[in-house]
Amino acid sequence: MIHCYRRKAEILLTSWLNTYDEDIGEKQAEYDEIMTAFDEEKKRMQDLQDQFAAQDVEYWRLMKEKEDEEKAILEKKLSTFICNRSAKRIQRYWRAYRARKLARRKGRKKKKGSAAKKK
């Protein structure tokens, strides 16, 4: 009878061990599958980070180039504006000067002419 109980206990323990081994085997296979997928994703992420780093360097180079071009265009526009404003001022002063000169000449001619008539 003890032998029978012992045999049942062995069978039960063997059954539990087999079930445990199967469960652990499934979990290990699932773990290995997840780790493989994780490693692939990690490698893909590293590749993308490398690609991003290369593009980031290119991006900042292009942005610097764009900024330099915009700065050059702005400086050119500013220079043109200053030159035009200066030219307008010079022309305005020159016209005013000429007008004063012509007015003075006309004033002198009238004085000379009126003085000659009085004599």
Mean pLDDT, 10 residues at a time, over the chain (119 residues)? 85 94 96 98 98 96 98 98 98 96 80 52
The predicted structure's pLDDT at residue 117: 53
The predicted structure's pLDDT at residue 108: 74
The predicted structure's pLDDT at residue 29: 97
Query: Which position has the token pair 């008539």?
Result: 117
The predicted structure's pLDDT at residue 113: 54
Return d(Cα 50, Cα 41) in angstroms, integer.
14
Tokens read off for 110 = 């009238």
The predicted structure's pLDDT at residue 3: 81
* Dihedral sign of CA atoms 45, 49, 50, 52 in order: positive
The predicted structure's pLDDT at residue 110: 60
pTM over 0.75: no
The predicted structure's pLDDT at residue 111: 55
Return d(Cα 29, Cα 23) in angstroms, integer.
10
CB half-sphere exposure, 14, CA atoms < 13 A? 6
Q: Which of 10, 30, 29, 8 is nearest to 18 (CA)?
A: 10
Cα 113 to chain centroid distance, Å, stands at 77
Length of the chain, in residues: 119
